[in-house]
Amino acid sequence: MHSSFKHVALNMTWLLVFGSLLVRPLGNLRFLIFWMFTAIIAVLTYFVFHQDSVISVVGASGAVSGMMGAIARYGFPQGHLGISTQNERFLGSLLSIKKALCSRVVLIYMSVWLSIDFIIGISAFLGEGVSIAWEAHIGGFFSGFLLIGFFDSLPKKLKTTI
């Protein structure tokens, strides 16, 4: 359940952008399982910070953030995010965590993303913004960044699509 149509539209837009890039190397089934793992970790991260809260968490933002974290592991081989017009693997090869963290483009991407999320969190804490589960975003982002290697490294015949 989402808090508004705008919330749903924003999540689905980012899912289209980042999810469509990941479904090719993962296949439909593993993409869905990866989505669920990042969603669960995102919610658990939120609850670590809000154990006594009675407010429910709504949205798919944590899992979408997981897709964004996973994309960073591919290192943006063409130097930018975009949609390939040819039937090729846009993302290139998966980078190790160490190589991804040594990439200037990846570090800039991660820094901008984390900065925006922390600003959202700080403004909500100060009562100046909408209450957004920014902790879930961060949990999702890092779970996607760390877990994508497992999902992308399975043998090709296990990457079947439904």
Digit-coded pLDDT (tens) for 98-131: 999 999 999 999 999 999 988 887 877 777 656 7
| pLDDT for 37 beyond 70 | yes
- The encoded tokens of residue 114 equal 């984390």
pTM score, two decimals?
0.82
Which residue carries 């190790």 as its tokens?
Answer: 96
Q: Compare 151 and 93 and report the one with higher pLDDT.
A: 151
In this prediction, residue 3 carries a pLDDT of: 63
Burial of 81 (0-12, 13-18, 19+ CB in 10 A): middle
- The encoded tokens of residue 140 equal 């999702």
- The encoded tokens of residue 31 equal 């993409």
CA-to-CA distance for 134 and 20, rounded, in angstroms? 23
